[in-house]
Structure 1
Amino acid sequence: MAGIALLSCFFVLISIGVPIAYAMLGTAFFVLFVFEPGLPTIIVPQKFYGGADNYILLCIPFFMLAGELMGLTPLFDRLMKFSNAMVGHIRGGLSHVNIVVSMLFAGISGAASADTSAVGSMMIPAMVKQGYTKSYATAVTVISSVIGVIIPPSGIMIVAALATGTSVSSVFLGGVIPGIVAGSSLLIVSLIYGFTKGFPKSAEMNWRERGRAFWFGMPGLGIPIVIIGGILGGLVTPTEAANLAVVYAIIVGALLIKGIPPLRELYQSLITVVTRLSAIMICLGASMVLAWFFAIAGVPEIVAGAIMTVTDNPYGVMALMLISYLIVGTFLDPLPAILIFSPIFQPIASSFGISDVHFTVVMVMGLSIGLATPPVGSCIFVGSAISGLSVDKFVKDLLPFIAAMAAALVVVAFVPSLVEWLPKFAQS
């Protein structure tokens, strides 16, 4: 009874527009006062503080700061030129460049909305100038930004690892191949669009020019190499990799290439990082409170029982989880969705032999697609603000890309080795 009341209260609060963190805390207090009046109220602040008091969370602000610092330097522009040298000569070249840049920038910012803003502000006007429709340019920018959540470093991956009790290093490495699979699926759609719509292409470069572009872009590629290479080689922890990324951005991006950015820009970057971090920490604390009440109210058992009435086949269970992720992602951001549903779905996945790393990466990938879907996807609103188009004007061009991402999700979900191979290789 308490479990059903808890779920009902939570979804009612969300449906009337209560912010996610407050909805989680409100639901917890409702259960505490109505169904568990004998429990001391001190449990709530204890669980809240415990959710935010974790050393591994130091990764998040430093990865954010590294991305912000890179944005103050010409390194992003160098990534653009490198990507254009690699794929710009193919029909629909700027569309492919858009996707490749997002994949590379994902290894720096780790935030989808930051990717949309950084890539979109440069690529959407450039694509329209070359003859692409503004609708298509906005759509490809929005959907490619989702890769920023999958390819490490990713703040959401860190939170998901914490929520599922999984090694951050393993989750980071587990997201590399799925991120490439997702990017490849988008490139396939982009190629089809390029040839069927007759989109323009850039002049093909010779290998010497490409080598020069690669050398020119190497400083921008350094951060992903430092992060992934350091973790894969066992040289650094994710937190240490985040600190190294900041140091690298300062030395290479600011001092060697451009010079120290103005203090006003640095101050604004710090404000941005602290603002985003504050929202994450509040959600984390509130989610730990709600997760504890989920446990004592038996919510995981209720959901597991409901799933078992539909199917007891592992593939069927995975399919139901994927459907749940895609539906939930349309009205909840990935961060709160992960914090809410991890304690519900993880025990079910474990009972069917699904590893924690595979479960975590698939959950993040599934929920992140919601960033590019109406009605509340944050990336679509950033893209809309940059292009000046209302969301309904570019949804039609967005749908084939969403279908491609969903197909990539299915492949990753049902081929566990795509997630598990790299973490196992790093441990061997």
Structure 2
Amino acid sequence: MDPAVIICFVVLFGLLLLTVPIAVAISCAVFAAIWVGDLEPMLFVQKLYAAFENFPVMAIPFFLMAGSIMQRGSMAGALIRVSQSLVGHIPGGLVHVSILTCIFYGALCGSAVATLAAVGGLLVPAMKQEGYPADFAAAINATGGTLGVLIPPSITLIMYGATGGVSISDLFLATIIPGCLAGLSIMVVGGYIAWKRGYGKRSPRASWGERIAALWAAKWALLVPFLVLGGIYGGITTPTEAGVVAVVYALCAEMFITKHLTLKDVCAVVVDTVRSTAVIFFLIASSQCLGMILMQYNCHELFASWVTSVTTNPWIFLCAMMLFFLLLGCILEGGAVILVLTPFIMPVLKTLGIAPVHFGVLFIYALIIGNLTPPVGLNLFMGATIGGVSFAAICRAVVPYVLAMVAVLFILIFIPQLTLMVL
């Protein structure tokens, strides 16, 4: 292996061990490789420019902004009332309300952290008030928050599609069934635990009139996925244009119809969006540059040759890669893994005859489980903060849901029709 590649990985993992932010660690590793390999620094500048010239990537700030608007507005609360009317009467009612609301909200914003902040911020205190233990409530909402990445529109799916040259519209369609399966598995496990341990109270079954009233009250929120996904699949808008539509619609609905958003809130939304976009774009740019360095030394060809020399069985390859991604998710941020590894994996997929859309769904599903595993699990840290529990307590409480999600992952591996049947 070339000395530039060796020093690149030494610097990268050394800085990660020192808990340096991953985008900074990747950038330092790239500069170290350029210096040792005597490469032209202008290549780095050109790659930075090319990373932001990618039109689908421009959808990210718009979906971030739409999610921030709805988080500060009334839509999250309206969705909770819809979920309560539909599943609140089932044993462990607020468990099901939390997960169903996360599915609804994930279809609005496409972000795990935004989903957890919006839904968990309202439902964790409500669950504690109804007698659910704090660690249980925090774990349920932290797990449900990850569904924001699987349910389209998803920022992570956009990153994978833009990096791998895969249709983002196809990825959005392919994640609908896996996202619902993941949500169902969490509801079954969480509902069983709540019923077995006698947590919470059962709400009276809502009448159809009450359900219709709740749906009507949430109509402005429920229209968002129809506008976004309907525009994409109807051929009216691209994913990037759909993000703009989501922002304009959410802003008009929250400011002029429901009137839950003030001018001060809009300013805060803009600040939040700029901060989040800066972090994500810095990560995208640095990861793209790292990929450029590795491809400069033909690391992608070495990886493809090594994989095909070990196995040509697509099922063994998929199982091995998913286990590898589950481990990576424990120590690295999922977006960085996608941006760095996707260019290396694409040639192998073509050789083994694996559909890039199917692999992308599995890839992202495995990495979002990393949001629930220490030491990097972002949803665990946020869930612990919202629930007022220790990090160790939420790590213990989340284990049954992680196992349920892993089981669904391997079902998706061996039944690819669950992702491809809607295409």
- Please classify the TM superposition score into its range, dividing by the shorter chain length: over 0.9
Equivalent residue for 2:414?
A: 414
In 2, Cα distance between equivalents of 1:324 and 1:376: 16
What TM-score do the two structures reach when normalised by structure 2? 0.95
Equivalent residue for 2:20?
A: 18
Equivalent residue for 1:168?
A: 168
Equivalent residue for 1:207?
A: 208
In the alignment, structure 1 residue 273 sits paired with structure 2 residue 260: no
Mapped contact 2:140–2:398 kept (Cα < 8 A): yes
Counterpart AA for 1:348: V
Secondary structure of 1:258 counterpart: coil
In 2, Cα distance between equivalents of 1:105 and 1:324: 30
User: Comparing 135-144 with 54-63, which one deviates more in the overlay?
Assistant: 54-63
In 1, Cα distance between equivalents of 2:233 and 2:413: 23
Equivalent residue for 1:30?
A: 32
Equivalent residue for 1:185?
A: 185
Equivalent residue for 2:258?
A: 257
In 2, Cα distance between equivalents of 1:54 and 1:306: 31
In the alignment, structure 1 residue 56 sits paired with structure 2 residue 35: no
TM-superposed CA distance for 1:44, in Å, is 1.0
TM-superposed CA distance for 1:137, in Å, is 0.3
Instruction: Give the 5 Å matches for 1:76-155.
Output: 76-155=76-155
Mapped contact 2:380–2:394 kept (Cα < 8 A): no
TM-superposed CA distance for 1:243, in Å, is 1.4
Mapped contact 1:4–1:299 kept (Cα < 8 A): no
Counterpart AA for 2:174: G
Mapped contact 1:144–1:183 kept (Cα < 8 A): yes
Mapped contact 1:91–1:198 kept (Cα < 8 A): no
Secondary structure of 2:179 counterpart: helix
Mapped contact 1:103–1:148 kept (Cα < 8 A): yes
After superposition, the CA RMSD in angstroms is 1.7
Equivalent residue for 1:354?
A: 354
TM-superposed CA distance for 1:177, in Å, is 1.6
In 2, Cα distance between equivalents of 1:309 and 1:283: 32
Secondary structure of 2:34 counterpart: helix
Secondary structure of 2:109 counterpart: coil
Mapped contact 2:255–2:262 kept (Cα < 8 A): no
In 2, Cα distance between equivalents of 1:241 and 1:40: 38
In 1, Cα distance between equivalents of 2:81 and 2:128: 18
Equivalent residue for 2:65?
A: 65
In the alignment, structure 1 residue 157 sits paired with structure 2 residue 157: yes
Give the length in aligned residue pairs: 420
TM-superposed CA distance for 1:413, in Å, is 2.5
Counterpart AA for 2:17: S
User: Comparing 338-347 with 8-17, which one deviates more in the overlay?
Assistant: 8-17
TM-superposed CA distance for 1:386, in Å, is 1.2
Mapped contact 2:7–2:29 kept (Cα < 8 A): no
Equivalent residue for 1:293?
A: 293
TM-superposed CA distance for 1:311, in Å, is 3.2
Deviations 1:16-71 (A, max 9, x none): 33332232233233333323x2x422111111211122222221111111111112
Could you tell me the percent identity over the aligned residues? 33
Counterpart AA for 1:343: P
In the alignment, structure 1 residue 228 sits paired with structure 2 residue 252: no
In 1, Cα distance between equivalents of 2:57 and 2:161: 10
User: Comparing 412-421 with 396-405, which one deviates more in the overlay?
Assistant: 412-421
Mapped contact 2:99–2:144 kept (Cα < 8 A): yes
In 1, Cα distance between equivalents of 2:75 and 2:181: 25
In 1, Cα distance between equivalents of 2:311 and 2:288: 30
Counterpart AA for 1:33: W
Secondary structure of 2:284 counterpart: helix
Cα distance, 1:320–1:7 mapped onto 2, change above 3 Å: farther
Counterpart AA for 1:256: I
Equivalent residue for 1:402?
A: 402
Structure 2, unmatched stretches of 5+, are none
In 2, Cα distance between equivalents of 1:257 and 1:18: 42
In 1, Cα distance between equivalents of 2:383 and 2:212: 32
In 2, Cα distance between equivalents of 1:30 and 1:251: 48
